Every structure is written in C-alpha cells, then in structure tokens.
Amino acid sequence: MAKALVTGGTGFVGSHVARALVERGHEVRILRRRTSRLDVVQDVACEHFIGDVTDYDSLLAAMDGVDWVFHVAAVADYWRNQPARIYEVNVDGTRNVLQAAEAQGVQRVIFTSTAQAVGYRSDLQPVDESVGFNWDQHLTPYGHSKFLAETEVYRAIRRGLDCVILNPAVIIGPGDLNQISSSVIIEAARGNIPPTIPPGGATVIDVRDVAAAHVAAAERGRTGERYLLGSVDLTHKAWLRLTAHVVGREGPAIPLPAWIVYIVAWGADVLRRFRVPLPIEGNQLRLSTRMMFFDARKAWRELGEPQVPIRQSLQDTYDWYRAHGDL
C-alpha cells in the first residue's frame, strides 16, 4: 500500500479522494490550513498536516516519506475571488507542489485540473483530451489558470517526474461545503428556481466517481496523459428539471436566447463593478450559453466507468444538505 498526501484534503473533491484512498487501504495524509473546516473529514482515518500550497517549506515537510501526491487544492469558486488570487494558488501553488515532489522523491503526482482547461470545438461535437485550450482567458480565468498549471505539470514530466492529469467536468455530490456546483440544489430546494434558463448545457459527474478516478489514476493511469472525467451530458433545462424533481419543486420551462443572456451578463458585470453582491458573475452567464460537453470515454476505458447515476447524486446531495442543516 502507498502513503499518499492530498492537498486540499478538507475540500469537496479532496475529502472524497482521501476517503477513497483510506477505503483502498492506503495511508493518507491531508494538507490543510489551520482555519480549514473539518466537517467532511471528521470520520476519515488520516493524518492532518498544517500547510499551504503557496508555502513551499510546508509542502516539503508534508511530502516527507510520501509515495503519491494528489494535488487537489485550488481556487475553484472563481466568481468569488480576484484573478490574481486564482493564478497565485492554481499556478504558483502547483509549481510549488511539483518542485517539492521532485525534491522529496515522490513516485507519482496526480494533478486535479478541470475540463475548462480543455478547449472548445466550433462544430459543437463533444470535446476530447486532444483539443487544446483556445478560450479567451478573460472569459474563464479559472480554466486559463488550470491550463497554465498543466503547463507546469508537463515541464515537471520532462524533468522526470511521473504525473497524471485529471480534468473533471461539473462535479456534484454530497459534501460540497462551499456550495460551488451543488449550490443549484440548495437554491432549488428553497424555491429559487428561475422561470427562464440559459440555452447551453454541461457534462456532469458525481464526486465519488471523481475520487475513484483519482485512485485509479494513481494505480494505473499513464504518465503524461490527461483524462476528462464525466458521466452524462445534460442541457441546463434538463439538469434543473431533474434537480427540481428531486427536491419536490416545479422545474423551469422557458430557455432564453443567448443574446438575452449576454445582456444580463453585461448588467451583472456593471453591478459587480459597483460592488453589488450577486450570486453569479458575467462570465458564468456567458459560458452558460454554450454546450460544454466532453468525451470521457478514454477515462472510462482506462480508469473505470462512473457508477453513480446523476439522479442518485442529486438525491444524495439534497439529503446531505438537509442532514447538515443547510436546508
């Protein structure tokens, strides 16, 4: 069995990765800040190590004697953070992790990227791993930061470090403390379902399937490969209707034309410049007009197919929020 370090181990994805590793019999250490909430790791039998990906010395200490590093820590809620912070953590922090792993002789690094670090196709066909990042970096600073972080990973590979890259699509499931992707479930349960929806769609996957893919990537992923992780493609209309059904509400009915969404996005940008608090920002709205579907068959073949149906994922998420007093 391996000894593994999980950065961001108290977060949504990181906590599930730590749990999956423990269930497979591995020895697990999580890297966390002193201020990190421990709600989702209280029952995980792992060692806690205080540090931060922006603190190189803490990374060196945390990786002492470690075989595998799962670099999950990132600023994912980009609409709540300034671009400078996103790049500092996601790019500079990744560089620190890789250099510390090299210095400590780590056997393998699994880097959690995002499907947003992959590009788009003009013919609207599902995107696979071969499509390079071609977005306007201002439209998706999060995706751009992860693209730059992947560049750091490839540099480390050329220096001899064994790394595998995972690119999850939209992740839902229980344990989303910061309410990133799963916030739609809370809003729907509270009755905040908009009467109109954007025309796009997204590939979705349960967090437990993402965690299983991380363990599989460490055990049998190919060095230097990137793997898109996804379970099912859903239009926003289908996703919100399914969510509404799970929480016992009426679903949305009217898709908006893209041009109206762009006007609303412009308005959101103006309001945010005047520091008006909003639950969404302009670039999120602009991206919501696109069919952001990804071809995850490579990961299915090499790492295993997703096992959690999306309706079950939504139900489990809803039940988790209810049990933890969020609803």
| CA dihedral of residues 135, 137, 140, 143 (deg, nearest 10) | 80
pLDDT score for 23: 96
- Pairing label, strands 170-172, 196-197: unpaired
- Give the three-state DSSP class for 148: helix
pLDDT bin (cut points 50, 70, 90) of residue 271 is: confident
**Ramachandran category for residue 16: left, alpha or beta (phi over 0 → left; psi -120 to 50 → alpha):** alpha
Whether 142 sits among the annotated catalytic residues: the reply is yes
Residue 188 belongs to a domain: no
| Count of domains forming the chain | 1
Output the pLDDT for position 179.
Answer: 83
Indicate the range of 56-65, 187-196, 311-320 predicted with least confidence: 187-196
Query: What confidence score (pLDDT) does residue 319 get?
Result: 96
Residue type, 40: V
Q: Choose the catalytic residue: 56, 142, 227, 318.
A: 142
**114 within 8 A of 13, measured Cβ to Cβ:** no
Structure confidence at residue 209 (pLDDT) = 98
In a domain, 73, yes or no: yes
DSSP 183-245: HHHHHHHTT---SEE-S-EEEEEEHHHHHHHHHHHHHHPPTT-EEEE-SEEEEHHHHHHHHHH
User: Is residue 60 within 8 Å of residue 104, measured between CB atoms?
Assistant: yes
Q: What is the pLDDT of residues 110-150, one digit of tens each?
A: 999 999 999 888 777 789 999 998 888 877 889 999 999 99
The answer to whether residue 184 sits within a structural domain is no
Residue 248, domain member (yes or no): no
> Considering the chain, what percentage of its residues have pLDDT values greater than 90?
67
pLDDT tens per residue across span 180-236: 888 889 988 998 887 778 888 999 999 999 999 999 999 999 999 999 999 999 998
Mean pLDDT over each residue of the chain, to the nearest integer: 91
Residue 174 is assigned to a structural domain of this protein: yes
**Is residue 325 a part of any domain in this protein?**
no
Burial (CB count <10 Å: 0-12, 13-18, 19+), residue 204: buried
The CATH number for 25's domain is 3.40.50.720
Determine, yes or no, domain membership for 242. no
Cα(104)–Cα(80) distance, rounded to whole angstroms? 34
Share of residues in the chain with pLDDT > 70 (%): 95
Q: Which domain holds residue 123?
A: 3-179+202-235+292-310
H or E segment to which residue 265 belongs:
helix 258-273
